[in-house]
């Protein structure tokens, strides 16, 4: 299969990586190439123009000492190290970047109510999309049909939340957009496993996905839908699913 | 700027998520109208205010609804930034740590607790208890790290993590009777035990938390789904 994890040499040569040199502000991101949670952080860092060192964790091979030291509680990526201190959980990392770099472009609006709305929808994406999507490709029969129905409901709800705005953030790409954009690379897989068409189910989300893909921060952080689909195939093999 | 500032809280008396919001409002010295909800017969106000999740708590501020306890807590801290004490720390890294522990509590504590409470099989129940106690042990470490010898997760004063865990206190105090095990003990979690004493003595806790006996009775009769 074409889709294996990348070696460090591949990453160094990969135009998607900002380069192995550490950022002047001492930011290091422990990540896994296809992780939508890690991609949120890559997108946010790019939107904010913050340089950082990308450090790939080969999760298919197990968890490194470095990762276990940085995130002993959850043992997961992404982890953002700032001058050596770890920040864990992707949405917490995004909020940390807002707080720690107040002069960089903000993803959250300034109005408290608008911020609450943004946090609500980012939380919704977090609670719903990945888990439901995983059930779509992991399960068969009735449980899969249930996952499919849930996925359609989730996408329709998000479609309604987006409405006629260009981004969830309004005119500007914002917090919810950064939180959800990585999943645009997974839509193709959800469509195939769920047997539905996104433009039919959630046309505004489909248009939004295209718009996101045109942004450099998103384009440089995401892998193609085909690569994601192949990766899922790999995961299924690993878990002995078929 | 003239005009009233209207806060309305939709909740249920037993809900720990609602208790969190009550705690925050009390700590900030904010007055609000509390409206008890019947979740078996959901009100129009609840359904229009929280169409996505249809759950409590919902805080309605001058007619605008905010949902999800953690989102509400951050909103209260930001909308009332100059009123009363700050709930979150000011330092960015400390804020990230506080958010991490609140997220940890929500991700890891509730599920095994529920298993310990509702499991029919002995093996499943034992596993739930084991996982819950492991989480509590981690929180003991978190308290040590965050408090740095001071009374609360927030330091000298009650903060975000205190409120998030504090909201669950009545359930935690009822755990021995409901789940068959004490969550805290002097040997393993001395800091948390002391924290519980301190927290329950707060005026805010007395107002915001339900009576433990009443809660235990209610949970037993309803095999509570929180």
**The pLDDT of residue A1:** 34
Architecture of domain B7-80: 3-Layer(aba) Sandwich (3.40)
Start and end residues for every CATH 3.40.30.10 domain found in chain B: 7-80
Q: Does this complex have an ipTM over 0.90?
A: yes
- Contact (CB<8Å) B71/A119: yes
Range B78-90 average pLDDT: 96
Per-residue model confidence (pLDDT) at position B225: 55
Q: Is the pLDDT of residue B226 over 60?
A: no
Q: Is B161 on the interface with A (CB under 8 A)?
A: no
The pLDDT value given to residue A25: 57
* CA contacts within 13 A on the Cβ side of A41: 30
Residues of chain A in contact with residue B138, where contact means CB-CB under 8 angstroms, are 73
Above pLDDT 70, what percent of chain B?
97
Domain with CATH 1.20.1050.10 in chain B: 92-224
Chain B residue with the nearest C-alpha to that of A72 = B138
pLDDT digits (tens, 9 = 90+) for A31-72: 999 999 999 999 999 999 999 999 999 998 889 999 999 999
Residue spans of the domains in chain A: they are 27-100, 112-239
- pLDDT at residue B113 tops 80: yes
CB contact under 8 A, A100 and B92: yes
**Domain A112-239 adopts which CATH fold?**
Glutathione S-transferase Yfyf (Class Pi); Chain A, domain 2 (1.20.1050)
* CATH label, A27-100, candidates 3.90.110.10, 3.40.50.10490, 3.40.50.2300, 3.40.30.10: 3.40.30.10
End-to-end CA distance of chain A: 16
Which pTM does this prediction carry? Answer: 0.92
Cβ neighbourhood burial of A157 (10 Å; 0-12, 13-18, 19+)? middle
Greater confidence (A71 vs A240) lies with: A71
Q: Is B74 on the interface with A (CB under 8 A)?
A: yes
Q: Is B66 on the interface with A (CB under 8 A)?
A: yes
Q: How many CA atoms lie within 13 A of B213 on its CB side?
A: 0
* Minimal Cβ distance to B103: which of A92, A99, A157: A92
Chain A hits for B74, Cβ within 8 Å = 115-116, 119
Q: Which of B64, B67, B100 sits opposite A113 (nearest CB)?
A: B64
- Tell me the average pLDDT across B91-106: 98
* Cβ pair B93:A87 closer than 8 A: yes
Residue A5 has pLDDT above 70, yes or no: no
Which A-chain residues 65-104 have CB contacts (< 8 A) with chain B?
Answer: 73, 82, 85, 87-89, 92-93, 95-96, 99-100
Q: What is the mean pLDDT of residues A203-227?
A: 98
Q: How many whole angstroms separate alpha carbon A182 and alpha carbon A13?
A: 22
**Is domain B92-224 classified as CATH 3.40.250.10?**
no
Looking at residue B224, its pLDDT comes to 56
């Amino acid at each position: 299969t074409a889709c294996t994890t990348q070696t460090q040499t591949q990453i160094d040569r990969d135009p998607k990586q900002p380069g192995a040199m550490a950022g002047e502000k001492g930011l290091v991101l422990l990540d896994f190439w296809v992780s939508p949670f890690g991609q949120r952080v890559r997108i946010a860092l790019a939107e904010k123009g913050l340089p950082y060192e990308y450090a790939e964790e080969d999760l298919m091979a197990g968890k490194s000492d470095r990762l276990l030291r940085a995130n002993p509680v959850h043992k997961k990526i992404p982890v953002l190290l700032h001058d050596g201190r770890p920040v864990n959980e992707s949405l917490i990392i995004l909020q940390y970047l807002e707080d720690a770099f107040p002069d960089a472009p903000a993803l959250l609006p300034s109005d408290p109510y608008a911020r609450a709305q943004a946090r609500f929808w980012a939380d919704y994406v977090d609670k719903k999309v990945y888990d439901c999507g995983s059930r779509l490709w992991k399960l068969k029969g009735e449980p899969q049909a249930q996952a499919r129905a849930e996925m359609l409901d989730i996408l329709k709800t998000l479609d309604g939340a987006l409405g006629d705005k260009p981004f969830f953030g309004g005119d500007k790409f914002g917090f919810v957009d950064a939180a959800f954009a990585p999943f645009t690379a997974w839509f193709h897989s959800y469509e195939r496993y769920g047997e539905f068409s996104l433009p039919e189910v959630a046309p505004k989300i489909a248009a939004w996905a295209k718009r996101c893909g045109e942004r450099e921060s998103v384009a440089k952080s995401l892998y193609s839908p085909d690569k994601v689909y192949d990766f899922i195939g790999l995961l299924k093999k690993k878990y002995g699913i078929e | 700027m003239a005009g009233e500032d209207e806060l309305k809280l939709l909740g249920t008396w037993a809900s720990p998520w609602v208790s969190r919001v009550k705690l925050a409002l009390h700590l900030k010295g904010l007055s609000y109208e509390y409206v008890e909800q019947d979740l078996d017969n959901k009100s129009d106000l609840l359904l229009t205010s929280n169409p996505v999740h249809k759950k409590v708590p919902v805080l309605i501020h001058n007619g605008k609804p905010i949902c999800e306890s953690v989102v509400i807590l951050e909103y209260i801290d930001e909308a009332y930034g100059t009123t009363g004490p700050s709930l979150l720390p000011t330092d960015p890294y400390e804020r990230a740590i506080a958010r991490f522990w609140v997220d940890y509590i929500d991700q890891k504590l509730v599920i095994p607790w529920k298993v310990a409470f509702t499991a029919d099989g002995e093996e499943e129940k034992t596993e739930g208890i084991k996982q819950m106690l492991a989480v509590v042990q981690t929180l003991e470490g978190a308290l040590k790290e965050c408090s740095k010898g001071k009374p609360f997760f927030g330091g000298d004063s009650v903060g975000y993590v205190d409120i998030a865990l504090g909201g669950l206190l009545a359930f935690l105090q009822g755990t021995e009777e409901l789940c068959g095990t004490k969550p805290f003990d002097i040997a393993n979690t001395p800091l948390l035990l002391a924290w519980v004493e301190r927290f329950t003595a707060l005026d805010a806790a007395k107002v915001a938390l339900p009576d433990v006996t009443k809660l235990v009775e209610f949970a037993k009769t309803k095999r509570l789904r929180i």
